[in-house]
Structure formats: structure tokens, C-alpha cells
Amino acid sequence: MNFIYLAFLDTLALTASLPSHMHLFPAADAFREIRLRENTERGWPLHAEEVDALREIRLREETERGWRLHPDYAKWNSLRNILSRVRHLPACKDFTLGAVRLEMLRPHGIVPWTPPAEGPEILHLALTTNPGAQMICGLEHLHLAPGYLYWINRRVPTTQCNFGEWPRIHLVIEAAKEALESLAEDVVAPQDEACP
């Protein structure tokens, strides 16, 4: 199996907060520079289709000096609440949450096939989507509905496509099966948050 359903989470507060954070997605030129550097380091080609189709906000990423948090991360309560819920799910009890990003796949966008990779597990939580948005892992494909959290097999070739008329946004979490508690200081207990 290349997709494993983990849980349903109420993402209403986080989804409602997205419009006020859309400006955080980088412009095409900035994203192209980031991808060019990373793909060169990995030995992968840079696909123009990926740069044109996909944007991401890196909310928490590992650097040589430790974890770097996006400046808006600390005050984005609905995001931190969702991460706290993911961290405390029975299906995730053996995982340590690592890098966190929001991925936006534009309408009619296709991300080229990503080769199989070792490393952390990948969890996808759909926030906004449409019936034309699909993920393909190996020979399986799936439409991730809003609020559904899935483990995605990154050990087979994967791709994403959005044949719909509006963007598809997923919260993507890297998770390692280790006994570390590195995210404990970043995640707060779930709180009520008023919608704007």
C-alpha cells in the first residue's frame, strides 16, 4: 500500500486562516532559485513544470544550526493546534515530527515524477482541494479529501496533479520513527481560536 489513512482532523480553523497567509507563498523566481539549489545538491534535474505548478511555505525546517521556524509560525495558532493534534494521534505515537510545510499546487499544475527516496516518512493533510486533485504513488492514485491525514510511501516514484479549477493546499509533515521530542517546544496544546 502506498497510501495509509491515519486520521480525520477538523481543519476548519486552519483552512479559514489561509487567506491571511497566502502572501507567504514565494514568487516563481524565488521558488525556482530554491529548487535549483536543492535539486542540484540531490543530483536531480530542475523541471520547469514543478516550479510553475508548485509553491511551498517552509514553516519548520532543519538547518546546519538546528531547527529554523518561519517568523509567522509562533503566532499561527490554528497551525500549531493541528500539529499538536497530529503529534498526539495514536497512529503517530512512534513518530517524531520534523520539517513542516504548506504546499500549494496551482490549477492544472502537474509535479514531475519524484524518484524513490529514503529518509523521513511523509504525512499529507489536505486543507483545500477539488475533485481534480490527485496524488499518484507507484501504480496507485488517490484524491485526498480535506481533513484526511495520510502516510505517503516515498519509496516508490510519486507525482501530484491538479486538473481542477482552484489551488490544492496540503500541510506536509516529515516524520521520523525515533524517540526524540524535538517538536515539544514548538507545539502547544490545542486551544480554541476564533475565526477571522
> Looking at this protein, which amino acid is placed at residue 19?
P
Element (H, E) at 6: strand 3-8
Structural domain contains residue 163: yes
In contact, 18 and 127? CB cutoff 8 Å: yes
Residues 6+ apart with CB under 8 A from 193: 13, 17, 77, 78, 81
pLDDT tens digit sequence for 151-196 = 999 889 999 999 999 999 999 999 887 533 343 334 333 444 443 3
Structural domain contains residue 186: no
Structural domain contains residue 57: yes
Structural domain contains residue 95: yes
Buried b (16+ CB within 10 A) or exposed e, 138-151: eeeebebebbbbbb
Structural domain contains residue 188: no
Task: Supply the range of the domain harboring residue 165.
Answer: 3-176
What is the band of 44 on the pLDDT scale with cuts at 50, 70, 90? low
HEC letters along 59-70:
EEEEECCEEEEC
> Looking at this protein, which amino acid is placed at residue 41?
E
Structural domain contains residue 193: no
Structural domain contains residue 41: yes
pLDDT tens digit sequence for 9-39 = 999 999 999 988 888 887 666 555 665 666 6
Domain count, the chain: 1
Structural domain contains residue 192: no
Q: Which CATH number fits the domain that encloses residue 63?
A: 2.60.120.330
> Alpha-carbon distance 60 to 46, whole Å?
23
pLDDT given at position 34: 62
Place of cell 490549477: 107
